Amino acid sequence: MIKLSVIIPTYNEEMYLEKALRSVRFADEIIVVDSMSTDKTVAMAEKYNCKVLHRKFDNFSNQKNHALQYATGEWVLFIDADERIPNPLQQEILAAMASGKHAGYKLNFPHFYMNRFLYHHSDSVTRLVIREKCHFEGSVHEKLIVDGTISKLENPVLHFTYKGLQHYISKKDSYAWFQAEQMLKKGKKATYFHLAFKPFYRFFSSYVLRGGFRDGVPGLTVATINAYGVFSRYVKLMLLERGIR
């Protein structure tokens, strides 16, 4: 029988982890790779008999590649603590694994914001893969490399990204610092062109090209904050170039 391993990276996720764990109980094993949480995240994982790995965070790719070494299933599903796998998607995942048609599958992630799912502001990300045919690359935007064909599943993941406006903006700022530091290490430079054009294009892509305007005020808000995140990244890169933080 084909086995499925679920890998969940965590850091202080006690408020969200339990529901994620409940949603993947259909898997044969659950691996939680924890970045030294200071709350009850690890206790929650142990309560659900997860295999818990402790690893200081350096980047997302290394964290997930580390967990892959401990997975025993032929297939691996990657999720975050604020994501849920509803029953229709569970059945679709099991059917995809059994079919043997592809080496990996993309899952659909509509964003959750202002108490609603934004189905016109969603991402398709490869998350279900054959273990021996995958690895992660990249330190800023980790990319799952799959040796083989990739298809897409239809039923969406429930992704509860919104935890309050302040949290959302703080998350963008925190991630922008990380991105800026990685860009600086690669010798990239921030220009006024980046400050003006890049945020504008992110807003235009999110709100117009991807149909975010169909999601009303929440769609407009998400597009605006995403544009701010891009602007913040290049401002921070400029600061780091000048030795200021």
Domain boundaries in the chain?
Answer: 4-159, 165-241
- Architecture of the domain made up of 4-159: Alpha-Beta Complex (3.90)
Supply the pLDDT for residue 208: 93
Give the number of other Cβ atoms within 10 Å of residue 135's Cβ.
16
- Phi and psi at 60, nearest 5°, equal -70, -40
| Tens digit of pLDDT at every position of the chain (245 positions) | 899 999 999 999 999 999 999 999 999 999 999 999 999 999 999 999 999 999 999 989 999 999 999 999 999 999 999 999 999 999 999 999 999 899 999 999 887 777 777 877 778 999 999 999 999 998 767 899 999 999 999 999 998 866 677 877 888 888 899 889 989 988 999 999 999 999 999 999 989 998 889 888 888 988 999 999 999 999 999 999 988 87
Contact criterion met (CB below 8 Å) for 111 and 222: yes
Supply the pLDDT for residue 162: 65
Supply the pLDDT for residue 134: 96
